[in-house]
Structure 1
Amino acid sequence: MIVRFVDFKSEARIPDLYAPVGANADINTATQAEVLEYCEKYEPQFLEMFYRKHDAELEEILAYNELPEEQQTDAEKNSILQSLRNMIADYVAFYYFRAMSVLNSGVGAVIMQPQHANRTDIVNKCVAVWNDMVRMARKLHVAMFGYEYPKDEIFHKINFLNL
């Protein structure tokens, strides 16, 4: 697998992925298992869309990813690998957040928050994560393959205003 838990950062940061110091790690283990399921489902899907008609390049980067870290010395491949990790983390986070936003809650359930906590609109968070992934995918795809990107979903932005 290309993406790692440490790649879920910025807007793609998933709550409870890591245990705070001194906290019970059971919640984090459950969250990590759930995120791992999403990674196993959505990473191959992303790679298939990104590397459409470029199977040799996909096999090459997957083989390079399997090398021990001390043998990964090719700067260009390391750059591609890091870009892929960031894009895949955004792609997986989008589907994770989307699924979490539709979970049922009890009728009349109240969510307690600290006094100065910021409420997060999960839809806007999903849009930001998706559009960041699209921006990186377009840029890397054109740089690697020298022509315009295909018409797959990973290359189309979502409208913030829902128009």
Structure 2
Amino acid sequence: MPRMRQDALGGALGLAFGMCLLFWLIPGWVEPDEDLRLPVSLMPQIVAVGFVLCGTAMLIRGTLAPRSNSDQATGGFVQGEFRGLTLMILVLLVATAGFQTLHFLVVAPAIVAVSMWMFGPIRPVGLVLTSAIGPILIWGLSTHVLGRVLP
């Protein structure tokens, strides 16, 4: 697979992740709480809109930026980069669907590991530590500090 520009790939990933959050995960998993003044889903929706906006900006910047090695006739993504983008979005959707059937601590390390691996060369120790420690910290903070159970 030809190396895709990191800003376009990151933008596509951010856009897809934000859309999954907005239209699938937040409506399906955030439970309303009548005791609060603001809806519980407000902050996750703001973050998801941020993912969508920033991902769109990065994707546009990555696709419209001039390329030194690309054929001028293609004018955008080459065929191999489209396959890479499709693979990245497919992996993200499959992992997101895994949240519905598996626990957060099973799926989140896989999402982190695959995302880090697809973005470029990462030292194996850093990949393993980030994939393990990040989701555990998020789960611990959500469960024990905020009192919210993750799926």
State the TM-score, normalized to the length of structure 2: 0.34
Q: Which has the larger share of helix?
A: 2
State the TM-score, normalized to the length of structure 1: 0.33
